[in-house]
Chains A and B, each alone.
Chain A
Amino acid sequence: MKKCRYYRQDCLAFLLRELDSDRQQVMSEHLNHCYRCQKELREIKNFIAQTDDLKNELGRTMADIEWDRLQVAITESVFRQKESQSEAGSAAALKHRRWQPAVAGLLAGLLLGMFFSYFLLRPERWPELASRGNSKVNLPAGFVQKVDLALAQRETIDYLDRSQYLLLELLQAKSASQASAFLTQDKVQKLLTEKKYLNNQLEEVKLAKAKMLCDQIEMLFLELIQLSPQMSEAELASLREIIENRQLLLKINLIKRELQTSEV
């Protein structure tokens, strides 16, 4: 025979008629002779009856409710909320749409900015920009050329002046010894050195006539420096002949005037 504990678990289900028919029969037979389980069954029955207080309360509250009206109210409320949610969604979409032109404008501006930045700072221009960055003063290229030309003209005129002065002394000397005393090798050498420096300038600024004349003078000075410190009368005469034949003094005057008039 099984213990009461085994049957007691089924008391509630027996009371509620939730056991299958065989089990219900077995339980019924047990209850006939077990006073403990009878007591348990009575107490459960009483408890269930007590819980009916809440059940009755529930029934009373339900009696007040107008279910038909509630049915409509719930449906309307749910569909209203759904519509307001979808309206809120479309309003948000419209709000975004209103900003679209501004956003498009901003993007276009950014693209243009990027394009011009690239155009101005493109890699091909980096050396140019770097050289600009290194110089303290940025001058137009034409201005620099003009300055170079003016300086070359000034130097050439200066050179021609001093050469002319020497040639005149050579022509006006009364004797070979007087000419030798005046035309020292230092003076001639100084003019030759100056000519070497002048060569680059004359080539750069393309003063062709002046360069040709300066070259002729240079030739003369080279011959002069090769003579002995005490030149003879014949040598002096030969030099004078060169100066006169080549009309060096005249040419010097003409070139000087030309340079002076074209001076910046």
Chain B
Amino acid sequence: MEQENADYGQSNPEFLVGRIKEGDKEAFMKLVGLYQQKIYVLAYSMVREREDALDLVQETFLRLYEKINSYRSGENFNAWLMKIARNICIDFIRRQKARKKESLDNLNPERLDLGDGHDDPSRFNPGELIHQAVVSLPAKQQAVFILHHYQELKYVEIAEELKISTGTVKSLHYKAVRKLRKLLARQLGGEA
């Protein structure tokens, strides 16, 4: 019974956060183990660079440690942490785009430089095309799409994480897919 309680404590984020606030390094390591893959999936689906995604995972945990005292007990820890991760990824993408002097907001099908895979098959890379199209989506549509397709969350879980209703999740997801289809129609084939 005691062993069961100990195991529960080891995997309960609330419990681990309490220990981390007291400076427990082991508890912090446990928390990293619980969430590092989830954050990596989010980061990779947004930046599509393995090394950048790994750096963003580390930056997220550093930010988590700095902000740990602002976490309130009873709050959805998963949603709280993923919001931190998402903000860090968005900042990273903005910095990258600023360097390239491109604006995500101005991205449209005509300007989207997805390359023409039909003309040059050697340059055709569906993963890259999809990634560029996904990062061009409005923030909430992008978040819903990534959470569903790459983190494989159900609508209910996405709603809880983003603090919106399941109806809104369904609507945002549909709009995201419709826009992606339009953006990628020419490059990937199919109809808009």
Residues of A in contact with B (beta carbons under 8 Å apart) = 9-10, 12-13, 16, 18, 43-44, 46-48, 50-51, 53-58, 61-62, 64-65, 67-68, 70-75, 77-79, 81-82
Contacts and interface: CB of A to CB of B under 8 A. Distances in A.
Contact of A57 (B28, B127, B149): B127
Given A51-B130, A54-B130, A75 B180 contact: no
B72 interface: no
Nearest to B192: A43
B174 interface: yes
Given A61-B50, A70-B36, A75-B25, A46 B190 contact: yes
Interface of B: 25, 28-29, 32-33, 36-37, 40-41, 44-45, 48, 50, 53-54, 57-58, 61-62, 65, 126-127, 130-131, 134, 148-150, 154-155, 170-171, 173-174, 177, 180-181, 184, 188, 190-191
Contacts of B25: 75, 79
A87 to B, nearest CB: 16
A110 B54 CA distance: 57
Contacts of A12: 170, 173-174, 177
A58 B57 contact: no
Contacts of A74: 32, 36, 57-58, 61
Contacts of A58: 41, 44-45, 150
A78 B65 contact: yes
Contact of A47 (B32, B62, B134, B190): B190
Nearest to B27: A75
